[in-house]
A and B are shown apart, each in its own frame.
Chain A
Amino acid sequence: MLSALQNPRHAAAQLINFGLILSTAFMMWKGLSVIADSPSPIVVVLSGSMEPAFQRGDLLFLWNRNVFEETKVGEIVVYNVKGKDIPIVHRVVRKFGTGNQAKLLTKGDNNVADDTELYARGQDFLEREDIIGSVVAYIPFVGYVTILLSEHPWLKTVALGLMGLVAVLQRE
């Protein structure tokens, strides 16, 4: 098993096997990003603010191209607030104007008030460019793993380490 690592070509091949697993996963993700035109085409719901539509841990697929029509009231969108790097999933409830300059207001279905409190200081509405995608499909619950991973960061290290070890050592 370990003797395979003494041959430099074997060692290089074992190493790149692991590398290719990682890079293929990354490139698939990037391919999806490019197709959906969204920096993050798959997100996990972190809060219960959209219940009963989405629960914590649901996996959402986003689409960020306005091919046929503009983003409109009633759509569930994911947006980033300037200065904060956590995307938020909420529903568009007001829209003023058209095109990229349209002013959008969002609200969580399960929240009492709209999102003006959540926006950056001095920001009263969203613009189209703040939105990273509209929800087009979802899978319940499967994203819960990533919630676990982000709440217990050491799990990530352990999982990555195990994957690496297995890929380097096994030759089946």
Chain B
Amino acid sequence: MAASQEKVAVYSLPDLKNTTDDAIPIYLNSLSFKQSHTLTDVRLFLSYLAFGICAATFYWDYKLGFEATKYYTAAAVALYTCINGLLTFWIWGVEKNTIYVGTNEAGDKISIQSSTKKHVPIYHLTITVQEKGAGGKSREIRIARPFREWFDKEGHFVTIPFQQMLASNVGVIGAADPKRVVDEKKMGAGAKADDTKSMEEKWNSLLAESSGATVVDSKVEADAASSATPGKGGKRRAKKA
């Protein structure tokens, strides 16, 4: 349940980012958030419109020849350029790496943008929450976390620490999923502040925090207990659970 079957190469930043990006809608939609696809749909509409114009141009050019159609072709080229410019504006100016827009039952609007810097395995999230009662005012939450917090060393995506990270940092997600909220100070010890701690210690602290929520069967727990170092046990549990 906790770790995905699929593996990604842990040194491939696009793989890490795409897998994580894909996990956010799955998680939030499972929490009664209603996803809005407007941004994507507008982008797709513009793209297919541009492609349609191009296809029409190709067809009449092929059927009727260049001379007979050159004024239409000129118009089509101009139109195509405009739509492509609009599309570029939409992607860079409006979408801005937005990976999720949704509203919860109370009407609070959440929009999430994600980014990474080239060859730095840290996931940057900008989460904008617009609460319904707050008179249209919106809050912005910025989170930057290393991917290793929710990918094990084999490249499996581990759901729980990721969901905890979101639920603990973003109020509306935490309210929708109180089980995943962990004390930032305690969890943050592993996650945010000191990078001096080893991966194993972080896993342990994370798993200790989530033990209430994690479904851990007794066999795995026994395995963990019998293994010599607590670190190995933690990792193995993460993999099996």
Contact = CB atoms under 8 A, between A and B. Distances in A.
Interface of A: 3-4, 7, 9, 12-13, 16, 19-20, 22-24, 26-27, 30-31, 33-34, 37-39, 171-172
Interface stretch (B44-52, B175-183, B220-228): B44-52
Q: What 8 A-B pairs come out closest when comparing CB atoms?
A: A23-B54, A39-B66, A16-B47, A34-B74, A31-B77, A172-B14, A19-B51, A27-B80
A9 B44 contact: yes
Interface in B48-68: 48, 50-51, 54-55, 57-58, 61, 65-67
B97 interface: no
A39 B84 contact: no
For the complex, would chain B's binding face be called helix, strand, loop or mixed by DSSP majority? Answer: helix
B44 A13 contact: yes
B48 A16 contact: yes
A170 B37 CA distance: 22
Interface of B: 6, 14, 18, 22, 37, 40-41, 43-44, 47-48, 50-51, 54-55, 57-58, 61, 65-67, 70, 73-74, 76-77, 80-81, 84
A34 B77 contact: yes
A30 B66 CA distance: 10
A39 B50 contact: no
9 contacts: A3-B6, A4-B22, A9-B40, A9-B44, A12-B48, A19-B48, A20-B47, A24-B84, A171-B18
For the complex, would chain A's binding face be called helix, strand, loop or mixed by DSSP majority? Answer: helix
Given A20-B84, A26-B58, A27-B54, 14 more contacts: A3-B6, A4-B18, A9-B37, A9-B41, A13-B40, A13-B44, A13-B47, A16-B51, A20-B50, A20-B51, A26-B57, A34-B70, A37-B70, A172-B14
A109 B232 CA distance: 80
A39 B51 contact: no
Contacts of B66: 33, 38-39
A33 B66 CA distance: 9
A172 B48 CA distance: 21
Given A16-B47, A24-B84, A30-B77, A39 B67 contact: yes
Given A16-B48, A34-B70, A26 B54 contact: yes
Contacts of B80: 23, 27
Contacts of B47: 13, 16, 19-20
Q: Which of A9, A20, A30, A39 has the most CB of B within 10 A?
A: A30
